[in-house]
Structure 1
Amino acid sequence: MTTATLPGTAFGPLLREWRQRRRLTQLDLGLAAAVSARHLSFLETGRSRPSREMVLHLSEELDVPLRGRNELMIAAGYAPAYTEHGLADDELSDVRRSLDQILTGHEPNPAVLVDGSWNMVSANRAAAVFVELVDPALLSGTPNVLRASLHPRGLAPHVEDLAEYAAHLLARLRRQAERAATTGLRALLAELVGYCRDAGIDPNAHPRDRIVLPLRLRHPDGPLTFFSTISVLGAPLDVTLDEVAVETFFAADDATARYLRRRFG
């Protein structure tokens, strides 16, 4: 006797993938979501089709990013639950204006706005302290911040303690690739790992146990030291806004602060 499956749905395998990425058993997810493990098994094997509300409920319990929630909705045969606009679209004009104010207001310290794949969307004037060290070929089109950081013609040759800094970036990207719905992050991770291996750096090294990891640059105008923070929007209901982030850099010593004030203040 064969088991019937519902045609035209890829929801089950996709749900299983997200559950496994969160390292949960069907029982674990069932207890958290108040759904029987048997019903979850039926959903994953295609023997049952979820309601729209069930898709959203399980997505919430699995902490799936908005892009991934839309993918689950489509796989289950429903329309996407969340909009996806470009930052240049009129619908996001107020948010983009506010993000630009954050970038400008952070001067004379550097700040960049990135999308979910670490492509640079915008930057303030002070970001020139990094940009001017990068081969212009890496900045054509839509530059990728992480690629520009570890590429041999990017920031990498100018970074003190490159091995430790690379370990930090790779660890952060691995965590993000594990949790995000943006599949391009895995390809980016593989690319950055290749740069590290070419430079004789262990791509699997763990960052040292520090409170804050400084970025120390050998700049033509003298040594500069920074630390950074990353900010995301609270409670976004648009895929684009769920993925954008602002990375802000701060001077980590008085000499760097004086240099930034003199040049960009």
Structure 2
Amino acid sequence: MHTVGELLRQWRRRRRLSQLDLAIAADVSARHVSLVETGRSNPSADMILRLADQLDVPLRERNRLLLVGGFAPRYAERPLDGDGLAAARDAVARVLRAHEPYPALVIDRRWNIVMSNRAVDPFLAGVAPDLLRPPINMVRLGLDPRGLAPHIVNLAEVRALLRGRITRQLAVAPDPELAAICEELLAPGSEEAGHPAESEIAVPMIFRFGGRELRLFSTTTTFGTPMDITLDEVAVESYYPADAESAAHFTASDAHAEA
């Protein structure tokens, strides 16, 4: 079992910081950082959290550091659909509704969909029922041949983009289950990803449904200063039309739904 000093050293190396870098950022001496990492000094709970904050350690792992250091966890993990996070859930629901007629959804740290707006529903028509059983994994939904994969025109490019994004996420916050998903579904293929046109503001996902192409790009929104593990690990994925034709499709579909 690792000591708290060994775990802090792992996080420091993961962030590619020297002991001096961390010491300056945390306003402590480099000698003290060295003593903590080697186990010759037992850090207080506040010191553990001060160092963890400078290392951008996820809240879940900060709790682990505290436990290993002999202290009680500081951060709760409440369900998003529970009373304790009602205000945050309502805020997210408003964001999702406000984004209609364009699709938006909320994913957790393993890319499971925990909330979505009505504009997502048409994309799920024809998806194999077992892929829609909770928890619905967004990566599996998008890349499984029984999911959205047959409708994604630039599938190789999307797969490469997802692989890069999840690889960066795992570098920041390792997770065995997400790593397994990445290995299963995002292994590099022999096909080469295409190059986006210079006019694109972001690399789009290009869907084809019944002869119509929809071009979408996405943005990611997270909570700025979460104190709950659940909020620390969720993100809102919002999709926008990448051209006028795609925008017109969503606007017409929304008008038809309201008629």
Structure 1 length-normalised TM: 0.87
Q: Which residue is equivalent to 1:61?
A: 54
Q: Which residue of 1 aligns with 2:227?
A: 237
Match of 1:249, as an amino acid? Y
Q: 2:178 matched to 1:185?
A: yes
1:147 counterpart SS class: helix
1:1-265 equivalences under 5 Å are 10-132=3-125, 134-180=127-173, 182-194=175-187, 196-197=188-189, 200-201=190-191, 211-220=201-210, 222-265=212-255
Shift of 1:123: 0.9
Query: Offset at 1:129?
Result: 3.5
**Which whole-Å deviations, capped at 9, do the CAs of 1:114-138 have from their partners, x for residues lacking one?**
1121100011111123322532221
Which residue identity does 1:116 align to in structure 2?
Answer: R
What SS does the corresponding residue of 2:157 show, helix, strand or coil?
helix
Contact 1:68 1:181 in 2 (8 A): no
Are the structure 2 counterparts of residues 256 and 206 from structure 1 closer, same or farther at C-alpha, using a change threshold of 3 Å?
closer
SS of equivalent residue, structure 1 residue 148:
helix
Once the two structures are overlaid, the 10-residue window that deviates more, 133-142 or 168-177, is: 133-142
CA-to-aligned-CA distance 1:42-65 (integer Å, 9 cap, x gap) = 322322211111101101110112
Q: Which amino acid aligns with 1:50?
A: P
Shift of 1:66: 1.3
* Separation (CA, whole Å) in 1 of partners of 2:195 and 2:25: 33
- The 1:35/1:71 distance shift into structure 2, 3 A limit, reads same
**TM-score where L is the length of structure 2:** 0.88
Q: Deviations over 1:215-240 (max 9, x none)?
A: 11111261111111111112111111
Distance 1:27 1:184 in 2: 34
- Aligned partners of 2:135 and 2:22: how far apart in 1? 39
Matched to 1:222, the amino acid is R
Report if aligned partners of 2:66, 2:73 keep a CA contact under 8 Å in 1: yes
The C-alpha deviation readout for 1:188-223, integer Å capped at 9, x for no partner, is 2222234x53xx346xx7986864011111112611
Kindly provide the amino acid, as one letter, of the partner of residue 69 in structure 1: R
Q: In 1, Cα distance between the equivalents of 2:49 and 2:240?
A: 39
Find the residue that maps to 1:246 and give its secondary structure: strand
**How far did residue 88 of structure 1 move?**
1.4
The structure-2 alpha-carbon separation of the partners of 1:115 and 1:132, relative to structure 1 and needing over 3 Å to count, comes to same
Tell me which moved more, 97-106 or 131-140. 131-140
**Match for 1:108: what amino acid?**
P
Q: CA RMSD in A?
A: 2.3
Alpha-carbon distance, 1:94 to partner: 1.4
Provide closer, same or farther for how the CA distance between residues 133 and 46 of structure 1 changes in structure 2, counting only shifts above 3 A.
farther
Q: Which amino acid aligns with 1:19?
A: R
- Residues 115 and 62 (structure 1), Cα distance of their counterparts in 2 relative to 1, 3 Å cut: same
Q: Figure out how many residues of one structure are paired with residues of the other and give that number.
A: 253
1:161 positional shift: 2.0
Q: CA deviation at 1:180?
A: 2.0
SS of corresponding position for 1:88: coil
Deviates more, 1:33-42 or 1:167-176: 33-42
